[in-house]
Structure 1
Amino acid sequence: MQQYVVQKGDTLRRVAARYSLAFEQLITANPWAAQQPYLQQGQMLYLPTSLRRRYVIQEHDTFDSIAGTFRFRKEALEELNPGLSANHLPQGKTIVLPATTHKHWIRLSGEYGPRDLERDIQVMQLHYPAIEWSIIGRSVMGKPIYAAKIGRGPKNLHINAALHANEWMTSPCLMRFLEEYAQALTEGSSVYSYEPDEWYRNYTLWIVPMANPDGVELVQEGVTPSHPYYERLIEWNSGREDFRRWKANINGVDLGDQFPAHWDEEVARRGKVRPSPQDYAGSAPLCEAEAIVLYQHTLDISPDRAISLHSQGKEIYWNYRDYEPPESEGMARTLGQASGYRSVKLQGSDAGYKDWFIQHFRKPGFTVEIGYGINPLPLEDFEDLCVEVGSVLAAFMSLR
C-alpha cells in the first residue's frame, strides 16, 4: 500500500476524496483512525489501491447510453479501452469506465471548511463574473468573512449560513444555489422552474456563506496544543478533544444568541454564565466579531427580507414577538410548500439573527432549519439537501 503523511487540515474524508477512495476503504486500511476524533499532523495513513470501475457490455448498449448512465464523456471510454469503438461494442466484454464528470463546481470532497470556501470563490470568480465578492469583516482569529452580491434590482435580499459551527452543511448548500443561479443566468435557463432573469432585474441578492469560519474549522479539524486557544477550548468542552458538536465561535459564544433582540431574557432563559459549546450568549449583545460583521452588513444593505440557514428539522420559523409584518406567515407557507418543510410559529426564543432582523426592520425574516438528523449532517445527504435548500431559496427569490 502507498503511505501518506497527514498534513494540517486533513480529515479522513478529505484524504479519501483526494485519492479517489471510498471512505470505508480508508477506514479498513487504517482501523485505528476511526477510534480518534481527528487525524493528527504527521500521522501515517495507508492508502489502498483505488480500483477502477468496470462494466460488462449489455445487449443494445451504445457509447451514448453507457456514458449517460455513468455520467462521463463518451470520448473517454474509447481512450481507456483501446480497440473499443461506437461500431464495436461486443456484448459480454468487460470494460473500464472513466471517472464521473461533475456538472457542478460546488461539490463536497470531504468536510466543507474555510479553505474549501476560498477555493470555490476563486472558481466562481473565474466562471461567473455576474457574482461580485467582497470581504465584509474578519473572525476572532482573523479569517475573512465573505459576502457575494448578484443582481441589479432596487431591492436587497440577504441569506446567511453557518452561524452555528456544526451546521456547516448550510454553507455548501447555499454556495450550490448561488452557482445554479449564476449558471442559469449564463445559459438562459430556469432555476427550479423560476426565471433568474426576473430575480436579477428585481433584486440584488447578498449572501454570507460562512459566518463562523473559526468555529467551522474547529468542528472539522479539532485543536492541537499549538493552537493559541487550546487549553481554554478543552476546558470549555468539558475536557473533551472531540468538537464535532460545537455550535459556538472560537470564544465559546453562541452567535445565534448574540443579537440585540431581548438579549437579557435569552441570557436568563439559557442560564449559561461562561463560554460553552452552545447557548452561552456572551458578555453583551454583539460582543463577538462575527456577530458585529453580520449585524453591520445587514444595516448597510437594509434588506427587504432575509433568511438565516441552520440545521436541522425541516422547519421554517417566521415570527418574532408579533414584530413581523402580516405577510410573513403566508410567505413562510409558500417556502414550505416549495420544499416540503413545515412552517412554524416559534415561541420562547430571543437574540437570534432572524429575531433582531424582524424587530429592527419590521420586515419578513426567516430561520430555515435544513435536513433531519444530528449535526453535523452526513455528507451523504448533501445532494438531497441542495435540492431542498435550492427549492426554498428559489421560492424566496420569487416572493412578491
Structure 2
Amino acid sequence: MNHKSIIKVRDGYCHKILIDDLSRLSERYPQIEIINIGKSVLGRSIPAVKLGDGPRKIHYNGSFHANEWITSLLLMVFIEKFLEAKVSNNDYLGINVNSLWQKNTLWVIPMVNPDGVDLVQNGFSPDNPYYRNVLQANKGSTNFRNWKANIRGVDLNDQFPANWEREYTRRKITEPAPLNYPGPHALSEPEAKAIANFTLEKQFDLVIAFHAQGEEIYWGYEKLEPEESSRIIKRFQKVSGYRAIRYVDSDAGYKDWFIYKWHKPGFTVECGLGQNPLPISQFPAIWSKVSKIMLEGLIT
C-alpha cells in the first residue's frame, strides 16, 4: 500500500490537528481504538489510542509539559508507522509488527496537556476565561515559550501522589506559574486526574512518559523499581545512546507515582537536546533515536 502519510511533521502541532489526524487514522486503520479518557480545564478532549490486543499492557504519553509538544508529534508518527507496517505485513526497524501486536496492548496518550500546548503555540485571547490568571502567572508577558504548566498554571508532572507534599515544599512555589507549581494538592487538575484514573483502570505493566529535552532516561524512584527495570534501561540506552539516570531529587511525577504504587518499570524519556520548545528542524535527529525506544518498549 502506498498511502500518503497522514501525520505531517510540522511546526505548531496542536490539539485541533491531533484530533483531525486521529480521525483520519481511524478511517484508514479500523484496527485501532480511540477513546477519550477525560477533558482538560478548557474542555478539550484527552484521547488515548489503542494498538495491539496482547496480554502485556504498555502505556506511552507525551506533552505533559506544554512547551514539549514535539513529543506529541513523535508519538503520532510512531502510531502511524506502526500501523502502516502492521497492515502491509512489513517489519518495522527490522522487527515483526504482527508479533508485537499479539504480544502487547499499547495505549498511547499523545497530548496530556492540550490547553498548555495551545497556549505555547497560539497564544491566547482576552475571551479566554483564564486570561487574567495566565497573564499574572506569566508576569504580564504574552510570550509563552517557557510555559510548561496547564492553563491554571499547575505543573501536571508535579501532581501525583508520590511524596507530593515533599515536592511542594521543595519547589517553594505556592501560586500558579509557568512551571514547577505542584498545585494546591495532588491530582487537583483534571488532566492529571484523567491519567491517574486511566492508569488505575488499566494496570499497566510498563509506562514511558516522553518529555523534552536532555537525551536522558530517568528510570528509578526511591529504590522501589523492580530488578527488571535495570535490564530494560540497558536496552533503551543501547538503541538510543541516551544517558540513564536512576535517581534524581524529585517527587510527584507520573513515572514516580507509577513505580511508587506498583513497583513496576516506569521511565521518563527526555527527547532531544536544546531549549524547549525544540525546533521542528531537529525532528529527524530526535526521531532516529526515540523511535527505537518506543519500539524497544514493546519488545523487552
Q: Tell me if both proteins adopt one fold, taking TM over 0.5 as the criterion.
A: yes
Separation in 2 of the partners of 1:364 and 1:312? Answer: 21
196-205 or 102-111, larger mean C-alpha shift: 102-111
Displacement of 1:102 in angstroms is: 8.8
The corresponding residue for 2:131 is 230
2:15 to 88, 94, 114: 114
1:263 to 164, 175, 192: 164
1:118–1:374 Cα change, 3 Å? same
- Name the SS for the 2:95 alignment partner: coil
Residues 1-400 of structure 1 correspond to what in structure 2 (within 5 A)? 104-399=5-300
Displacement of 1:193 in angstroms is: 1.4
Separation in 1 of the partners of 2:122 and 2:30? Answer: 32
Letter in 2 for 1:154: P
- Provide, for residues 304-361 of structure 1, a one-character-per-residue CA deviation record: whole Å limited to 9, x for no partner: 0000000000111110000100111221110111111111112211000000000111
The corresponding residue for 1:72 is none
Separation in 1 of the partners of 2:109 and 2:31? Answer: 16
Q: How many residues are paired up?
A: 299
Separation in 2 of the partners of 1:359 and 1:190? Answer: 36
Letter in 1 for 2:135: I
Letter in 2 for 1:158: H
Identity %: 43
- Name the SS for the 1:205 alignment partner: strand
Can you give the 5+ residue segments of structure 1 that lack an aligned partner in the other structure? 1-100
The corresponding residue for 1:38 is none
Letter in 1 for 2:193: I
1:295–1:167 Cα change, 3 Å? same
Separation in 2 of the partners of 1:272 and 1:161? Answer: 24
Letter in 2 for 1:291: A
Separation in 2 of the partners of 1:178 and 1:337? Answer: 22
Separation in 2 of the partners of 1:152 and 1:225? Answer: 45
- Provide, for residues 346-384 of structure 1, a one-character-per-residue CA deviation record: whole Å limited to 9, x for no partner: 221100000000011110000000000100110111222
Displacement of 1:230 in angstroms is: 1.0
Verify the 8 A CA contact 1:147 1:208 in the aligned structure 2: yes
Separation in 2 of the partners of 1:337 and 1:103? Answer: 32
- Provide, for residues 225-272 of structure 1, a one-character-per-residue CA deviation record: whole Å limited to 9, x for no partner: 222111111110011010111000000000010000000111111100
Separation in 2 of the partners of 1:109 and 1:288? Answer: 29
- Provide, for residues 80-114 of structure 1, a one-character-per-residue CA deviation record: whole Å limited to 9, x for no partner: xxxxxxxxxxxxxxxxxxxxx99532123331000
- Name the SS for the 2:119 alignment partner: helix
Verify the 8 A CA contact 1:174 1:389 in the aligned structure 2: no
- Provide, for residues 31-61 of structure 1, a one-character-per-residue CA deviation record: whole Å limited to 9, x for no partner: xxxxxxxxxxxxxxxxxxxxxxxxxxxxxxx
- Name the SS for the 2:92 alignment partner: coil
Separation in 2 of the partners of 1:103 and 1:366? Answer: 33
- Name the SS for the 1:327 alignment partner: helix
- Name the SS for the 2:200 alignment partner: helix
Q: Which structure has the greater CA radius of gyration?
A: 1
Separation in 2 of the partners of 1:125 and 1:224? Answer: 32
Which structure has more relative contact order (CA 8 Å, sep 6+)? It is 2
Runs of 4+ with >6 A deviation: none
Separation in 1 of the partners of 2:255 and 2:180? Answer: 16
Separation in 1 of the partners of 2:201 and 2:100? Answer: 21
The corresponding residue for 1:55 is none
Verify the 8 A CA contact 1:177 1:386 in the aligned structure 2: no
Separation in 2 of the partners of 1:334 and 1:326? Answer: 14
- Name the SS for the 1:148 alignment partner: strand
CA-based RMSD: 1.2
Verify the 8 A CA contact 1:192 1:390 in the aligned structure 2: no
